[in-house]
Amino acid sequence: MKYSKKLFNKIKITTDMLDYNVGNILRGDFNTTNDPYIEKNRKNLCYNKKYENTILGIYFRNSLIKKKLYSASYSGLILKLSIDKYIKQNIKNIKLPSPDELVVYFRLGDQLLHLNKMGCELFYNYKEQINNKLKSNNYKKITIVTNLAFCGVKKHSDIIDDNIKDGIFYKSFQSKGSCEYSEKNINFNKLMFLPVLDDIIDSFPEYKIDIFSSYNPDHDICYLYKNGFIGDNRSTWFRIFNYNKKIV
């Protein structure tokens, strides 16, 4: 088996991330995201014990955030403190990159399908960015962080009514034939991403190339956050979590 296929097989699949759709939940702006679940998700993260010890649970339980729970904004500083607290509480159970590790982020899953439907470029100038980083740092390893993440319909099935089904978000990401989880859509991701993996492997043969992927999005966030990371500037995660690059 080619090494790129072995790497792809390490990528975890999240079939329904609707209750922890991090970018939409943090931005909280329905007009920007068309996400009808933002209010329910923020309420759950703030008050449901299930989410108490997650990064977003810690964030939304902050007294300053609670006061403006449903406002269309977030605090970069309080989010950073929440990630630091999560890492401290879970340091024995999470993996973090070493100082000589270059971390590269790709958003796969429904977003790749959505970009394709919109006729957008699927991948950013990752090779150029990697080259630029390698020139100025003593890296020995390149680790790609990614997850095959999809918006499902089960987690919030209790509020999916005709109004939601008629909305842009449901039609774009949740309805049959759109960007929902399916073997067909996994195979599309594989078809598109394997050449990227081959390109990175072939372009940087002197570096160990690996994948970090978790079923727990907080673990992926921590891995990205620790060293800073390369990513697509269209990506919400890149703009929100890349603290070694800039504070949002």
Cα–Cα dist 146/192, whole Å: 14
CB distance 22 to 105 below 8 Å = no
Computed over every residue of the chain, the mean pLDDT equals 95
CA-derived radius of gyration, the chain: 18
Q: Which residues pair with 113 in a beta bridge?
A: none
What's the whole-number mean pLDDT along residues 168-197? 95
Cα–Cα dist 239/173, whole Å: 22
**Greatest Cα pair distance in the chain:** 55
CB distance 214 to 20 below 8 Å = no
Structural domain boundaries in the chain: 3-241
Tokens of 175: 């309805």
| pLDDT of the residue at 244 | 60
Does the predicted TM-score (pTM) go above 0.85?
Answer: yes
CB distance 19 to 44 below 8 Å = yes
Helix locations, the chain, DSSP H: 3-8, 22-27, 30-33, 38-47, 55-60, 63-66, 76-90, 110-117, 126-136, 162-165, 168-169, 183-203, 217-227, 236-241
Query: pLDDT (tens digit, 9 = 90+) per residue, 216-247?
Result: 999 999 999 999 999 999 899 999 998 764 33
| pLDDT of the residue at 245 | 47
| pLDDT of the residue at 60 | 98
Query: pLDDT (tens digit, 9 = 90+) per residue, 100-124?
Result: 999 999 999 999 999 999 999 999 9
